[in-house]
Structure 1
Amino acid sequence: MSRTLHLAEQLISLPSITPEDAGCLDLLAARLAPLGFVCERLDSGPDSFRVSNLWSKRPTAHTQQAQAAIKTIVFAGHTDVVPTGPLAQWGSHPFTPTHKDGKLFGRGASDMKTSIAAFVVAVEEFLAAHPDPQISIAFLLTSDEEGPSIDGTKVVVEQLKARGETLDYCIVGEPTSVKQTGDMIKN
Structure 2
Amino acid sequence: MSNNIRFPTKDEIIAKVDTMQAEAVEKLKQLVSFDSLLGNEQDAQIFMQEIFNSLSLNVERFPIVLDDIKDLPGFSPVNWSYDGKDNVVAQHTPPVVASDMLSKGSQGKSLIFNGHIDVVPTGRETLWSKHPFSPYVKDGRLYGRGSGDMKAGVMAFVIAYKALKELGFVPSAKVIFQTVVEEECTGNGTLACLARGYRADAAIIPEPFPFLVTGQVGVVWCNVTVQGKPAHTLEMETGINAIDAAMYLVSAIRDLEKSWNVKEKCHPLFKQFPHPLGFNLGQIQGGEWTSSVPSECSFDLRAGFFPGTPLETVRNSITQAIDEAAKLKKITYQIQWNGFQAEGSTMDVNGDLMKQLGSSYKDVMGKEVPQQPILCTTDCRFFDLYYNIPSACFGPESTHIHGIDESVSLESYRDITRVLACFIAEWCGLQPSSSA
Task: Give me the whole-angstrom Cα distance separating, in 1, the residues matched to 2:65 and 2:170.
Answer: 37
User: What residue number does 1:155 align with?
Assistant: 192
CA drift at 1:82: 0.1
Tell me which of 30, 47, 52 is aligned to 1:10. Answer: 30
CA distance in 1, matches of 2:373, 2:110: 22
Whether the 8 Å CA contact 1:70–1:135 is kept in 2: the answer is yes
Q: Structure 1 runs of 4+ off > 6 angstroms?
A: none
State the TM-score, normalizing by the size of structure 1. Answer: 0.82
Mapping for residues 1-187 of structure 1, pairs under 5 Å? 2-45=22-65, 48-50=81-83, 51-62=85-96, 71-150=109-188, 152-160=189-197, 165-175=198-208, 182-184=371-373
Contact 1:112 1:175 in 2 (8 A): yes
**C-alpha contact 1:74 1:139 (8 A) present in aligned 2:** yes
Whole-angstrom distance in 1 between the partners of 2:47 and 2:371: 29
Contact 1:37 1:58 in 2 (8 A): yes
| Cα distance in 2 for residues equivalent to 1:182 and 1:103 | 24
> 1:130, CA displacement in angstroms?
4.3
Question: Are the equivalent residues in 2 in contact too, given 1:20–1:52 (CA < 8 A)?
Answer: no
For residue 104 of structure 1, give the secondary structure of its aligned residue in structure 2: strand
Q: In the aligned structure 2, how far is the partner of 1:171 from the partner of 1:130?
A: 24
For 2:200 and 2:36, the matched residues in 1 are separated by: 27
In 2, the alpha carbon distance for the partners of 1:132 and 1:105 equals 32
Shift of the alpha carbon at 1:10? 0.3
Indicate the SS of the match to 1:140: strand
The answer for unaligned runs of 5 or more in structure 2 is 1-20, 67-79, 98-106, 217-272, 274-369, 375-390, 393-436
- SS of residue in 1 equivalent to 2:81: helix
* Residues 153, 109 of structure 1: alpha-carbon distance in 2 compared, 3 angstrom cutoff: same
Q: Is the 8 A contact 1:15 1:22 kept in 2?
A: no
8 Å CA contact 2:111, 2:174 repeated in 1: yes
Work out the number of aligned pairs and report it.
176
Check the 8 A contact 1:76/1:170 in 2, yes or no: yes
Shift of 1:72: 2.0
Are the equivalent residues in 2 in contact too, given 1:19–1:52 (CA < 8 A)?
no
Identity across the alignment (%): 28
Which residue type is aligned with residue 114 of structure 1? A
> Which residue number in structure 2 is paired with residue 66 of structure 1?
none
Between the aligned partners of 2:112 and 2:46, the Cα distance in structure 1 is 18
Structure number with bigger Rg: 2
Whether the 8 Å contact between 1:78 and 1:144 is mirrored in structure 2 is yes
Q: Is the 8 A contact 2:49 2:61 kept in 1?
A: no
Distance 1:61 1:79, change over 3 A: same
Q: Distance in 2 between matches of 1:45 and 1:107?
A: 28
Where 2:130 maps in the other structure, the secondary structure is: coil
Change (3 A) 1:36 1:70: farther
What residue number does 2:354 align with? Answer: none
TM, length-normalised to structure 2: 0.37
Which has the bigger relative contact order, CA under 8 A and spacing at least 6?
Answer: 1
* Shift in alpha-carbon separation, 1:56–1:88, aligned structure 2, 3 A: same
Deviation for aligned residue 1:143: 1.8
Residues 101-153 of structure 1: per-residue CA shift (max 9 Å, x gap): 22111011110111111111111011222434311221111121112222x00
Counterpart amino acid of residue 200 in structure 2: L
Q: Unaligned stretches of 5+ in structure 1?
A: 64-68
The structure in which a higher percent of residues are helix is 2
